Amino acid sequence: MKPTDIKDPEYFHKVVDCQYACPAHTPVPEYIRLIAAQRYSDAYMINWYSNVFPGVLGRTCDRPCEPACRRVRVEEQPVAICRLKRVAADNKDDIRDRLPAIPKKKNGKRIALIGAGPASLTVARDLAPLGYIIDIYDNQFAGGGMMRSQIPSFRLPLSVLDEEVNYILDMGVNATFDVQVDSLREILDQDYDAVFIGTGAPRGKGLNLPGLEDARDHVHLGIDWLASVAFEHTESIGKRVLVLGGGNTAMDCCRTSRRLGGEDVRVVVRSPFEDMKASPWEKEDAMHEGIPIYNNHVPKEIVVEDGKLRGMLFEKVEAHYDENGKRSLVPTGEELVFMEADDVLMAIGQENAFPWIERDLGVEFDQWDMPVVDKTTFQSTNPKVFFGGDSAFGPENIITAVAHGHQAAISIDLLCRGESVAKRPPPRTTLASQKMGVHEWSYDNAVAPDPRYVVPLAPLDKTLSDRKLEVELGFDPDTGYKEAERCLNCDVQTVFEEPRCIECDACVDICPTDCITFTANGEEEELRTRLSAPAGNLAQDLYVSEILPTRRVMVKDENVCLHCGLCAERCPTGAWDMQKFLYNVSGTLA
Amino acid sequence: MSYQIPKFRHPELPVNDLGYTRAAYEGSISTLCAGCGHDSISGAIVRACHELSIEPHKIAKLSGIGCSSKTPTYFLGKSHGFNSVHGRMPSVVTGAAMANRDLLYLGVSGDGDTASIGMGQFAHVIRRNLNMVYIVMNNGCYGLTKGQDSATADEGSAGKKGDANPFSAIDLCGTALQLGATFVARSFSGDKEQLIPLIKAAMSHRGFALIDVISPCVTFNNTAASTKSYEFVREHAEATGTVDFVPMRKEITTRYTAGAAHEVTMHDGSVLHLYKDSDTLDPFDRRSAMMALMDHQQDGTVLTGLIYLDKDSRDLHDVLETAHRPLNQLDETDLCPGNKMLMNINASLR
């Protein structure tokens, strides 16, 4: 193999698994250390610059970082990264004086943002401090988009949402609420320098089942129903509720139903339990509230008698997988299952809809009626029109929308300054030794063996009787500290300097997870078979040195390195050093 | 500061016949200097014991005083241990081995502990061919007292203080051969591929097995003028050949070319394959081994590998015809012959 180029910022970035997996690439270990140091406001600001909504995301994020966490490769559970973010948000001081100043004198460029969800708000936050004039249009009465309409208050209290939305709206942006934008042409006619479309995936999918027509009043689309609960148009539901679908919206629907009078609430899903789209913790939360999940049931018919909804019929199926892993649901041949219901909620997915975008504005649409959007610049085929969030490539999640927003803001800034949007700024990185003494490091290098701490919950009887009472209480500062100590500090990198190495094997002998080998070089596939320990995780790189005096190379498998620093402590010549690698995606603010 | 090694291990570590990973054979974190050769020897011992599937409680590790003699804390944390008086480890092993022949005795010593204060004990334990493995972690200096030349330091070699050693060195392998040792090997802490099979072979040998392991002292004796530095040993080591050790009960999977290797069946049934690189050394002939040692000494090179093996070794228990069971397993009926037997004995003396 060729020697590893550690000057390439992506090499060490990839070692920080959580940060690499995060769409916004938030420097996770850095803020976790600050939480352990009780520097909550500092931890919050790192998050705020990177992901804009730390308090919201600390409660609702899809957490792509956690399955990536290195800890799941050496023990069972990842660090509770998401809930630690909440610890920072809950315990911070008033941070308003740390927010970027908004210039009184504007730069004269006007930007329209359609929709006031996470993507648009991110664009607003990234551009307002640069002096842009921002006009936001949204059809809801307040900002936040799906964070307000689709996420129930028992998961995300309004006060948390309002606080973080208002940090942005208070930046002197002109927000117009309760307005439906019906025509992109009308917006473009107002001579904006750029238009950003962040209108989400607003249309819930329904199932056209026999009996639907007669039961219209008691069959609802999940996201619309959640919105009408959030906006207090709906205050009750029948005692027996069937929720169709296996995603996070279905989980929010069933849990909300339990709080609005539903007593026998069931989730019915076509797929096997393991294949459900909902995050594992959201399924757990639903089951904790006494909601059974019926899997492998395909909805067949809505049963209406005497003009009244009686229930639904389901066909039982089994999942079969072919050699390519492709799933088919095969009926078991058993009798159809009848379940009684007073109300049915359909939460089987949502899709984009752009009826308000005229098709002669130079914004091209593809065969699925989705806008053609550049994946890096988020520019559409009309150079002034940008897309982001769910409206760009279909339903994702908040953190992805934020990441889109950052990149779109960079593009809009480049466009308005007359530069090419293709000229992306490189990431800002630093690499600095953490050595303080012979055995001392400026990070806590001991590896805590503790299993993951459980977030305490409010009592079930209280939360089920109050739709707005937050279920999770969050970690208290002491538990937050203990959880923070579980972080392996993967951003503190093992850096190897060949000329200093005397090949004494001290690092090989001490490494608790057998990451290091000195051996003859070879091609990667073959080299992986000759290392100190099995090196079968191809997603993790090998760090290979230049040729050493004994004609061997140092090979380090990054896979299960604990970043404990023992290799560097046992190194007599300082050939190994622990160096903190900070990687920040460049944005318009920093 | 790291006083402890993290508890997590590689999740796919291989397990041995007993179902243990290498972790079951580890000890506490080392407090020796960073880069000390002794730590590599500890690592080699851990790997050898794991790969041989020895039950940890069937091993006793004993040592004297010195940097080397601290190391038993750093390996085999679940085995029996005894840190004895300076240079007196062989006496303690002798007592233990006489009392309980069922344990594997691993003595760890240094060049000071062996070649200076313990020279007398070393000589006599060899003479008696006690069934033990005797590993010398040989760095040519007294590391624990700031690096004075030891009795194994070569004449002319200089450590960190820079003064060349004016005295001739004691060659522990040569001394052992002269005293009648039945297994003599020399290795280098920086060459685990050689050291691990040698430790395994020594553990399977019945009788006294010496491995003199050159183990650089990074703090006091890893200088350009030292003959016990990493660089010097790497450049001047000449192996007698390569050793491949196949434990008992393991199927021999490697194909061996006839004539190219000596196949030696050890006392416990395991097999040693010895590939000779040297035409002059016959490792089954004591005189040839002594000649080879002297030749290399004269050339200024370091002869490593298996130097001598007595295939017909008879250990102290064999010679003394001791009881076949450990003393702690002998009960009253074994120890007291009974009235009838006593009457017979008495009668025979009348």
- Rounded CA separation B138/B214 (Å): 5
Check if CATH label 2.40.50.140 holds for domain B22-328. no
Tell which residue, A61, A60, A55, has the closest CA to residue A87. A55
Query: Residue B271: what pLDDT?
Result: 82
Dihedral angle at the C-alpha atoms of B328, B332, B338, B341, nearest 10 degrees? -10
Distance from CA of B217 to the nearest CA of A (A): 11
User: Is there a contact between B195 and B202 (Cβ–Cβ < 8 Å)?
Assistant: no
What's the token pair of residue B237?
A: 């080591």
Q: What is the DSSP letter of B192?
A: H
How many residues are recorded in chain A?
590
Q: Which residue of A has its CA nearest to B6?
A: A447
* Mean per-residue pLDDT over chain A, rounded: 95
Distance from CA of A560 to the nearest CA of B (A): 7
Query: Residue B255: what pLDDT?
Result: 53
Higher pLDDT, B249 or A191: A191
* Mean per-residue pLDDT over chain B, rounded: 92
**Domain A99-202+352-416 matches domain A204-349 at the CATH topology level:** yes
Mean pLDDT of all residues in A71-84:
97
- pLDDT beyond 80 at B150: yes
Q: Which residue of B has its CA nearest to A488?
A: B6
Mean pLDDT of all residues in A401-419:
97
The Cβ-side half-sphere exposure at A579, using a 13 Å CA radius, reads 18
- Rounded CA separation A72/A537 (Å): 13
The sign of the torsion formed by the CA atoms of A183, A185, A191, A196 equals positive
User: Is there a contact between A411 and A445 (Cβ–Cβ < 8 Å)?
Assistant: no
Query: Residue A188: what pLDDT?
Result: 96
**pLDDT band at B1, cuts 50/70/90?**
very low
Residue type, A15: V
List, as one string, the DSSP characters of A318-342.
EEEE-TT--EEEEE--PPPEEEE-S
Tell which residue, B162, B165, B163, B143, has the closest CA to residue B215. B143
Indicate which of A77, A487, A500, A502 best probes the interface with B, i.e. most B CBs within 10 Å of its own CB.
Answer: A502
**pLDDT band at B267, cuts 50/70/90?**
confident
pLDDT above 70 covers a percentage of chain A that reads 100
- Rounded CA separation A194/B58 (Å): 78
B37 CB-contact burial (10 Å; exposed 0-12 / middle 13-18 / buried 19+): buried
- pLDDT beyond 80 at B250: no
pLDDT tens digits for A236-291?
A: 999 999 999 999 999 999 999 999 999 999 999 999 999 999 999 999 999 999 99
User: Exposure pattern of B237-271 as b/e (b: 16+ CB <10 Å)?
Assistant: bebbbbbbbbbeeeeeeeeeeeeebbebebeeebb
Are B2 and A74 in contact (CB < 8 Å)? no
- Rounded CA separation B321/B201 (Å): 24
Q: Which of A512, A534, A571 sits opposite B34 (nearest CB)?
A: A571
Residues in A touching B36 (Cβ below 8 Å): 506
Query: Residue B242: what pLDDT?
Result: 76
What's the token pair of residue B204?
A: 């399977």
Query: Residue B254: what pLDDT?
Result: 52
The sign of the torsion formed by the CA atoms of A345, A346, A347, A351 equals negative
Residues in B touching A487 (Cβ below 8 Å): none
In A, what residues contact B, Cβ < 8 A? 73-75, 437, 439-440, 445-447, 449, 502-506, 508-510, 512-515, 533-534, 536, 550, 560, 562, 564-566, 569-573
Q: Strand A240-244's sheet: what is its strand order?
A: A219-221, A343-346, A240-244, A264-268, A293-294
Are A506 and B35 in contact (CB < 8 Å)? yes
- pLDDT beyond 50 at A392: yes
Q: How many CB pairs under 8 A join A and B?
A: 100
Those residues with Cβ within 8 angstroms of residue A245's Cβ, 6 or more apart along the chain or in another chain: A222, A253, A267, A269, A346, A347, A348, A349
Domain range annotation of chain A: 99-202+352-416, 204-349
CATH class of the domain defined by A99-202+352-416: alpha beta
Distance from CA of A508 to the nearest CA of B (A): 9
Are A533 and B190 in contact (CB < 8 Å)? no
Are B42 and A73 in contact (CB < 8 Å)? no
Query: Residue B257: what pLDDT?
Result: 52
- Rounded CA separation B248/A424 (Å): 64
Mean pLDDT of all residues in A472-491:
97
- pLDDT beyond 70 at A15: yes
Residues in A touching B35 (Cβ below 8 Å): 502, 504, 506, 570-573
Residues in B touching A446 (Cβ below 8 Å): 2, 4, 6
Are A504 and B6 in contact (CB < 8 Å)? no
pLDDT tens digits for A309-340?
A: 999 999 999 999 999 889 999 999 999 999 99
- Rounded CA separation B195/A304 (Å): 82
- Rounded CA Rg of chain A: 26
**pLDDT band at A303, cuts 50/70/90?**
very high
What's the token pair of residue A276?
A: 């459900």
pLDDT tens digits for A482-533?
A: 999 999 999 999 999 999 999 999 999 999 999 999 999 999 999 999 999 9
Dihedral angle at the C-alpha atoms of A331, A337, A341, A344, nearest 10 degrees? 0
Count Cβ atoms below 10 Å from residue A586 Cβ, excluding itself.
13
Q: Which of B30, B43, B190 sits opposite A503 (nearest CB)?
A: B190
Residues in A touching B189 (Cβ below 8 Å): 505
B195 sits in which H/E element: helix B192-204
Q: What is the CATH number of domain A204-349?
A: 3.50.50.60
Q: Which residue of B has its CA nearest to A512?
A: B9
Distance from CA of B266 to the nearest CA of A (A): 28
- Can you give the three-state secondary structure of B302-323, one letter per residue? EEEEEEEECCCCCCHHHHHCCC
Q: Output the CA angle B41-B44-B46, nearest 5 degrees.
A: 115
Distance from CA of B169 to the nearest CA of A (A): 24
User: Is there a contact between B207 and B313 (Cβ–Cβ < 8 Å)?
Assistant: yes
DSSP 3-state of A125: helix
A6 CB-contact burial (10 Å; exposed 0-12 / middle 13-18 / buried 19+): middle
Count Cβ atoms below 10 Å from residue B60 Cβ, excluding itself.
22
Are B2 and A565 in contact (CB < 8 Å)? yes
What's the token pair of residue A113?
A: 């943002």
Residues in B touching A445 (Cβ below 8 Å): 2
Residues in B touching A573 (Cβ below 8 Å): 35
Using the Cβ of B12 and the Cβ atoms of chain A, whether some distance falls under 8 Å is answered with yes
Query: Residue B334: what pLDDT?
Result: 87
Q: Which residue of B has its CA nearest to A560?
A: B10
- pLDDT beyond 50 at B337: yes
Alpha helices in A458-575 (DSSP H): 460-465, 477-484, 506-510, 524-527, 566-570
Are B8 and A506 in contact (CB < 8 Å)? no
Lowest mean pLDDT among A245-249, A479-483, B253-257: B253-257
Q: How far is CA A395 from CA A68, A113, A398, B216, B297, in A?
A: 21, 19, 10, 62, 77
Mean pLDDT of all residues in B130-153:
96
Q: What is the pTM of this model?
A: 0.91
- pLDDT beyond 90 at A50: yes
- Rounded CA separation B145/B46 (Å): 27
Residues in B touching A565 (Cβ below 8 Å): 2
Query: Residue A407: what pLDDT?
Result: 97
**pLDDT band at A409, cuts 50/70/90?**
very high
Which residues in chain B (66-95) have CB-CB distances under 8 A to chain A? none
